[in-house]
Structure 1
Amino acid sequence: MFRYLSAIIVLLIITSCSQKTPTAQEIVDKAIAASGGAQIANASIHFKFRNYYYRATRNGSLRTLERCTDAACQMQQDVIKENGEFVRFRESAPIPVADSMKNRYANSVNSVHYFSVLPYGLNDPAVRKKLVDEVAVKGEPYYRIKVAFAQEGGGEDFQDEYMYWIHKENYNVNYLAYNYQTSEGGTRFREAYNERIIEGIRFVDYRNYKPEEQFPALTTLDNLFENNKLNLLSKIELENITVSICPKNC
């Protein structure tokens, strides 16, 4: 009888250890892997978003991000170089841009590319991650990960806060929310839809919602969403996505 009870206790201890809650870093690592992070790290990705054409070229830690007014990138081209420098070209010739506008244009270009391959950017050095808790949304289990940014390397919007709902089984990011301080500030909640896998990379579109309150706690937004208390503002849709995987150099 004693041996039987001892075996049960050992089994319970082993089971308890195997069910240990992962860290925020472990969850994000799995989410990035599930979305095709290894492919994104060495790929050239092209897509259209609204009235612009975007190109991202990544070679490990190096990247070049572009936004163009035409598919051939000849009329006007905004480029964030590997060293972070912003340059604007018109008909392939560089044109001067006021210093006061460079950061604004660069942030605009970077933001679209950042959202296009989420959660890939969540391991950038300035990112600060925290596991908040575990919840269910529409009957599915999620980890809620809060993300903030260090001032150094976090860009002009380092004060913004994000939350990601990462599925506990497949590690897909199906919802995200954030608050921002620019232009009087506000809060947004995004629902992923139209998932497609291209060359091993997961791409999604988003329904973009706004709450009635300007700055509600991000942890309340999934409940507001489920109770139809968010207003649909827009859709974030990527068109004509093409991916070229670059084993060595793009």
Structure 2
Amino acid sequence: MKKILPLTFLLICLTACKKEIKNLDSKAIIAQTIARAGGSTIDTSTITFTFRDKFYKASRNYGNFSLERCSDEACKDTLDQLTNSDFKRFVKGKTINLEDSLISNLAGGVNSVHYFSVLPYGLNAEAVKSKKIGEATIKGKTYYKIEVRFAEEGGGEDFEDNYMYWIDTEDFTVDYLAYNYHVNEGGTRFREAYNIREVNGVRFVDYNNYEPLEQFPPLQSLDSLFENGKLRLLSKIELENIEVTACSSC
């Protein structure tokens, strides 16, 4: 009997722990996912990479940020810079005056690349409205399905876009995501992570970028469409030459 009691107690504890994990709400799941991806390192870091022949640099310090895109590695030709306060374009080191509509377009392009490069970082922002809508199995793995929408205040120019994240229930990694967008007639994308690697404590992935055959299908149906071969591969999203430097002076 003395040998059975400890084993019984252990089984009860394991069952309780599993039940507690299953009962996690969307915010708790997102918090663990950000931590798993190296969020504390990203908070105070400089991250550089290349993407489609452009050079990117992100400097972050507990909410303050400078996001850059350069046409050349030395950033001497054209530099686009988005900060907490404004957006500027520099050509040959000189500030260029831009129309408001062009500023919005350029700033959105810079922000989008940097945003996707460190996902799920940022999904705990105040403007984020998240909801756990269930679970799904993709390629034999079980995932939480987390819906993300944005409040108009603080949600940026594209606050009406909505997202779906498939987060591994075991290791809390984002392996798939989908989103609707509304610019340029709009559409839907589904991304599958691959080439997963860690650079100085930060998790990075590349993506196979798919689109459905119909416009704006329910995002929660994208996992089933993917499993059944109902998505078309559009492109690959690949980050190269990634470097992460911790900000020791922050």
TM bucket, shorter chain: over 0.9
Residue 75 of structure 1 aligns with which residue?
77
Shift of 1:18: 5.3
Equivalent in 43, 55, 69 of residue 45 of structure 2: 43
TM-score (norm 1): 0.92
Identity of aligned residues (%): 53
Match of 1:71, SS state, is coil
| Residue matched to 1:147 | 148
Shift of 1:14: 8.9
Q: How many residues align?
A: 241
Equivalent in the alignment of 1:54: 56
Over residues 15-67 of structure 1, what are the superposed CA-to-partner deviations in whole Å (9 max), with x where a residue is unaligned?
45751310100000000000000111111000001021100000111110000
Code of the residue aligned with 1:45 in structure 2: it is: I
Q: After superposition, where does 1:157-176 map in structure 2 within 5 Å?
A: 157-176=158-177
* SS of alignment partner, residue 122 of structure 2: helix
RMSD (Å), alpha carbons: 1.8
The Cα of 1:237 is off from its aligned counterpart by 0.3
Letter in 2 for 1:19: K
Deviation at 1:128, TM superposition (A): 0.6
Distance 2:159 2:59 in 1: 24
Matches within 5 A, 1:1-250: 15-16=15-16, 19-20=19-20, 21-83=23-85, 85-249=86-250
- Where does residue 4 of structure 2 map in the other structure? none
Q: CA deviation at 1:134?
A: 1.2
Q: Identify unmatched segments of 5+ residues in structure 2.
A: 1-7
1:13–1:174 distance in 2 versus 1, CA, 3 Å: closer
Kept in 1, the 8 Å contact 2:136–2:223? The answer is no
Distance 1:18 1:209 in 2: 34
Unaligned 5+ residue runs, structure 1? 1-7
- Are 2:26 and 2:146, in contact at CA under 8 Å, matched by a contact in 1? yes
CA distance in 2 between partners of 1:115 and 1:133 (Å): 24
Which amino acid in structure 1 is aligned with residue 143 of structure 2?
Y
CA–CA distance in structure 2, aligned partners of residues 152 and 18 of structure 1: 37
Distance 1:219 1:154 in 2: 22
Select between 134-143 and 110-119 the one with higher mean Cα deviation: 134-143
